[in-house]
Chains A and B, each alone.
Chain A
Amino acid sequence: MVATKPAARRSDLKSAMPARRSDFTSAKPARRSDFRSAMLFLIPAFIGFIAFFAWPTVRGVYLSFTEFNLLQPPEWIGFDNYVAIAGDPVFWNSLVVTSEYVLINIGVQTIAALVLAVLLQRFTRSMVVRGVVLLPYLIANVVVALVWFWLADYNLGLINSTLDAVGFDRVGFFGNEALAMPTIALINVWRHLGYTTLLIFAGLQAIPRDVYEAAEVDGAGEARTFFGITLPLLRPVLAFVLVITLVGAFQIFDTIAVTTGGGPVDATRAITYYIYERAFGRFDFGYASAMSVILMIILGAVALIQLRVLRANDSDLER
């Protein structure tokens, strides 16, 4: 047992560590298989995987073909839920408002993040600035939603009080059907901007300087350089950023839940919120599961199309 070895032995081992850098040999010594220990190490993770990922996935698909209200056992009804969903105007509306949210949120956020990333890259290396910019992302959605709900309050909120003081009309940001979803989308731009910026910023850092020098020699201006070099070379990173932010955006829930609750009328009843309402407001678990299946298919398709269109895996940069 190693316990009987002198302590010096371990410190020898430590000094033998070459600063954890890359000089380990990849030669595979003929060793007994670690199968049994591996299984032991994997027990908790297997439980988690099977009980809370694999099984729920199968069960979710199964439930989507049933009528289930939590009290009686699920009753198989074939495609009835899907047929009902196809004729449900609230469902279609939820897809429309979700798309509205995604378009505004991702559009504004990605462009703003690109600009901010370029600014960070060119003008500062301060860790503090990057930390500040990231801060909203680390704060709970609920907190962020409440702060902006207060800032945009019709009567007392800072924004409306300011508008009023300057002589403009007050705006019902959350009470107006046309404004509610854009408002929520912009709040989440505020929350996610720093996160998206940091990802793009890292992508910018990876573009080699000599490409820019060549452009400079050729007399390319700032704009030309940005659109001709920066953007194309950033494509793989942008694709990655877009996929994860889009998939996240489609699942918008928290902000809606604590501000508008789906209103006014159905203006902010996004798909996840509708699923939540159907399941926990009306105990329509089969119907809600069927909508979840549809949402999962949409998300999968969106991610696939994006990766295809943006050719995320092949960079224009020879590595």
Chain B
Amino acid sequence: MSILTRPRPEDLDGSSADDLALATDEGPRTTSRGARAAARAAASDEGFRTSSRRSRIFGGIALGVVVVGTLFPFWWMIRTAFSTNNAMFSDPLSLLPVEFTFGAFERVLGIATTSDALAEGGSGADINFGLYLLNSVIVCVLITVGQVVFSAAAAYAFGVLRWRGRDTVFAIFLVALLVPGIFTLLPNFILVKELGLLNTFIGIALPSIFMSPFVVFFLRQFFLGVNRSILEAAVIDGAGTWRIFYRIAAPLVAPQIVTIAILQFIFYWNDYLWPLLVGQSEDTKLLTVGLGIFKSQTPQGSPDWAGLMAGALLAAVPIFILVVIFGRRIVGSIQSSGVK
């Protein structure tokens, strides 16, 4: 489970430079901070122009190396996925697919016959990444929608509504941010088992579906910045709290809601340990879990590398697509999480 190994976005401070004015509750100060940030950005542009020609060439080369080093493993994945296993033995250095074939994809999607699979160096074991892909989509959509909607409601209660004890309750809530994922893992597993929800989608989604402390924290900051007079006007118009929430306040922070939804979707898409524990049956296996099992299916001898890379590619492609569409937003959000 990537909760364990990746620094979770859950742990980040979510204030965004782009949305500074929206993100803090200290109204007038934000203007000067925003202006200063803009001035700094402009100033650093100058720095960007004054580098000498020689150092620009050096910088270009260095960045080129980094970009190639980042992208090359992905290319190798693609190259391998379209290669024929047996042929790769003879030409392990070829930069292009060796004996181009869709065989690996047919194998991992379970549409190749067993004999074809064996002939191409597959394990012949039944593996159905099509199903795992579908499972992953179902579970991740379930979690993301539930978590973001419920967290937004909580963030609204903490950021917009006024009630006694609000800040105390919020502080208690934030303590959840400090509990490392590994710690709640075992008790949560026991709970899900007691509820009889092992090997169900609900069981996989349950611990995450009600809220994420980070998402509540992140969205609260933006709700705090919503122009109060608009909300007051709606109250005068007689709109109920719920109506104000979903017709006025939530649309105002829609960009942030979408951004956090994308990040959370990616996070759960990549999660491994929790689904490994809770979703072990064939019809609840997620992609990452299926990949781990597929890898261990050929313990001795040579694994089905082409098949493995084809499966890995299936797990990565949806993320590639999200990055292409929302890259700017994702980069901006992560970047801004570092500067408070």
User: Cβ of B187 and Cβ of A195 under 8 Å apart?
Assistant: no
User: Cβ of B234 and Cβ of A20 under 8 Å apart?
Assistant: no
Q: How far is the CB of A254 from chain B (nearest CB, A)?
A: 5
CA distance A188 to B5 in the complex (A): 9
CA distance A33 to B157 in the complex (A): 12
Residue of A nearest to B229 (CB): A24
Q: How far is the CB of A57 from chain B (nearest CB, A)?
A: 6
Q: Does A176 contact B (CB under 8 A)?
A: no
Chain B positions within 8 Å of A226 at CB level: none
Residue of A nearest to B255 (CB): A20
Q: How far is the CB of A252 from chain B (nearest CB, A)?
A: 5
Chain A positions within 8 Å of B237 at CB level: 2, 5, 9
Chain B interface: which of A77-85, A88-96, A198-206?
A: A198-206
User: Cβ of B157 and Cβ of A22 under 8 Å apart?
Assistant: no
User: Cβ of B243 and Cβ of A148 under 8 Å apart?
Assistant: no
Q: Does A305 contact B (CB under 8 A)?
A: no
User: Cβ of A140 and Cβ of B316 under 8 Å apart?
Assistant: yes
User: Cβ of B230 and Cβ of A16 under 8 Å apart?
Assistant: yes
Q: Does A76 contact B (CB under 8 A)?
A: no
Main secondary structure of the interface of A (DSSP, over half): helix
User: Cβ of A137 and Cβ of B335 under 8 Å apart?
Assistant: no
Given A35-B163, A254-B272, CB of A203 within 8 Å of CB of B89: no
User: Cβ of A63 and Cβ of B164 under 8 Å apart?
Assistant: no
User: Cβ of B302 and Cβ of A155 under 8 Å apart?
Assistant: yes
User: Cβ of A13 and Cβ of B88 under 8 Å apart?
Assistant: no
Given A199-B335, A244-B11, CB of A48 within 8 Å of CB of B209: yes
Question: Please, what's the 1-or-0 string for B24-66, where 1 marks a CB less than 8 Å from any CB in chain A?
Answer: 0101101100100100110111111001000110011011001
Given A237-B338, A276-B273, CB of A129 within 8 Å of CB of B63: yes
User: Cβ of A57 and Cβ of B179 under 8 Å apart?
Assistant: yes
Sort chain B's interface into a size bin: 35 or more
Q: Does B241 contact A (CB under 8 A)?
A: yes
User: Cβ of A148 and Cβ of B242 under 8 Å apart?
Assistant: no
Q: Does A179 contact B (CB under 8 A)?
A: no
User: Cβ of A1 and Cβ of B59 under 8 Å apart?
Assistant: no
CA distance A137 to B9 in the complex (A): 11
User: Cβ of B150 and Cβ of A22 under 8 Å apart?
Assistant: no
Question: Please, what's the 1-or-0 string for A291-309, where 1 marks a CB less than 8 Å from any CB in chain B?
Answer: 0110110011000000000
Q: Does A11 contact B (CB under 8 A)?
A: no
Chain B positions within 8 Å of A139 at CB level: 270, 316, 319
Q: Does A165 contact B (CB under 8 A)?
A: yes
User: Cβ of B43 and Cβ of A210 under 8 Å apart?
Assistant: yes
User: Cβ of B210 and Cβ of A45 under 8 Å apart?
Assistant: yes
Contact partner of B43 among A20, A208, A257, CB < 8 A? A208
Main secondary structure of the interface of B (DSSP, over half): helix
Contact partner of A52 among B70, B92, B206, CB < 8 A? B206
User: Cβ of B150 and Cβ of A63 under 8 Å apart?
Assistant: no
CA distance A102 to B5 in the complex (A): 11
Given A22-B28, A161-B92, A252-B4, CB of A41 within 8 Å of CB of B292: no
CA distance A193 to B154 in the complex (A): 33
Residue of A nearest to B25 (CB): A26
CA distance A185 to B31 in the complex (A): 43
Chain B positions within 8 Å of A191 at CB level: 6
User: Cβ of B336 and Cβ of A37 under 8 Å apart?
Assistant: no
- Chain A interface, number of residues (Cβ within 8 angstroms): 132
Q: Does A314 contact B (CB under 8 A)?
A: no
User: Cβ of B338 and Cβ of A38 under 8 Å apart?
Assistant: no
Most buried by B among A10, A24, A70, A208: A24
CA distance A245 to B181 in the complex (A): 14
Residue of A nearest to B222 (CB): A20
Contact partner of B229 among A9, A25, A146, A288, CB < 8 A? A25
Q: Does A229 contact B (CB under 8 A)?
A: no
CA distance A296 to B186 in the complex (A): 13
CA distance A248 to B6 in the complex (A): 5
CA distance A204 to B181 in the complex (A): 31
CA distance A23 to B13 in the complex (A): 24
Most buried by B among A37, A38, A292: A38
CA distance A121 to B63 in the complex (A): 11
User: Cβ of B88 and Cβ of A44 under 8 Å apart?
Assistant: no
Most buried by B among A142, A198, A203: A142
User: Cβ of B176 and Cβ of A44 under 8 Å apart?
Assistant: no
Q: How far is the CB of A68 from chain B (nearest CB, A)?
A: 8
Q: Does A282 contact B (CB under 8 A)?
A: no
Chain B positions within 8 Å of A54 at CB level: 176
Question: Please, what's the 1-or-0 string for A142-173, where 1 marks a CB less than 8 Å from any CB in chain B?
Answer: 11001111110101111001100100000000
Chain A positions within 8 Å of B266 at CB level: 138
Q: Does B133 contact A (CB under 8 A)?
A: no
Chain B positions within 8 Å of A245 at CB level: 7
Q: Does A119 contact B (CB under 8 A)?
A: yes
CA distance A139 to B275 in the complex (A): 17
User: Cβ of A31 and Cβ of B162 under 8 Å apart?
Assistant: yes
Contact partner of B238 among A2, A116, A204, A288, CB < 8 A? A2
Question: Please, what's the 1-or-0 string for B149-187, where 1 marks a CB less than 8 Å from any CB in chain A?
Answer: 011011011000111101001000100101111111111
Residue of B nearest to A115 (CB): B62
6 nearest A-B pairs in the assembled complex, by CB-CB distance = A48-B210, A209-B43, A199-B338, A123-B59, A56-B187, A45-B154
A and B contact pairs by CB, cutoff 8 A, 29 listed: A13-B230, A16-B229, A17-B227, A20-B227, A22-B30, A22-B31, A24-B228, A37-B241, A41-B157, A45-B153, A48-B210, A49-B176, A49-B210, A70-B190, A139-B270, A140-B269, A142-B292, A155-B302, A190-B73, A192-B7, A202-B335, A206-B40, A237-B338, A253-B5, A254-B272, A257-B273, A258-B272, A292-B183, A300-B178
Known: A1-B239, A199-B335. 13 other contacts (CB 8 A): A2-B239, A24-B27, A44-B211, A49-B211, A60-B184, A70-B193, A127-B331, A140-B287, A150-B80, A153-B305, A201-B335, A209-B43, A253-B272
